[in-house]
């Protein structure tokens, strides 16, 4: 969706809105499962600190990405069109592919850390003890 979004030249506003809705729905659809996956990595006592650091790193990554995109996209005059937006789309797509690989590695790491699934065990039947009756 990012590549499609960054390759449009002039489109109507309603199409921009639909595109943004689809793109951000896709982003949120990836964030929730990945947050669940990475929150399984630290032990329970360290999870709060881990999530705090993770949130800080996400904010820093967003800022750095904006700076890099600002160096890629150019505008020659205040009234000219923005150039190289398509390059930003390809960079984002490439980083997304790298992220898929990294999440796959994290998934395998978490899968190896988690305890095996609990199975329901059935207790063996106890034979009734003989009752002694006094005569």
Rounded CA gap, 40 and 47, in Å?
A: 8
What band does 120 get if pLDDT is binned at 50, 70 and 90? Answer: low
**pLDDT tens-digit profile of 67-109?**
999 999 999 998 998 899 999 999 999 998 998 898 888 888 8
The pTM score is 0.68
Res 59 pLDDT > 80: yes
Q: Which residues pair with 83 in a beta bridge?
A: 74
């Amino acid at each position: 969706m990012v590549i499609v979004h960054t390759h449009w030249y002039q489109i109507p506003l309603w199409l921009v809105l639909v595109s943004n809705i689809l793109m951000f729905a896709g982003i949120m659809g990836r964030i929730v499962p990945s947050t669940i996956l990475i929150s399984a990595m630290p032990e329970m006592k360290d999870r709060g600190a881990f999530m705090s650091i993770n949130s800080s790193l996400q904010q820093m990554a967003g800022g750095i990405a904006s700076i890099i995109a600002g160096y890629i996209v150019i505008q020659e005059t205040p009234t000219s069109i923005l150039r190289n937006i398509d390059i930003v789309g390809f960079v984002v797509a490439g980083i997304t592919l790298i992220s898929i690989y990294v999440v796959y590695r994290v998934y395998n790491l978490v899968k190896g850390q988690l305890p095996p699934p609990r199975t329901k065990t059935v207790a063996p039947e106890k034979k009734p003890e003989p009752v002694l009756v006094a005569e």
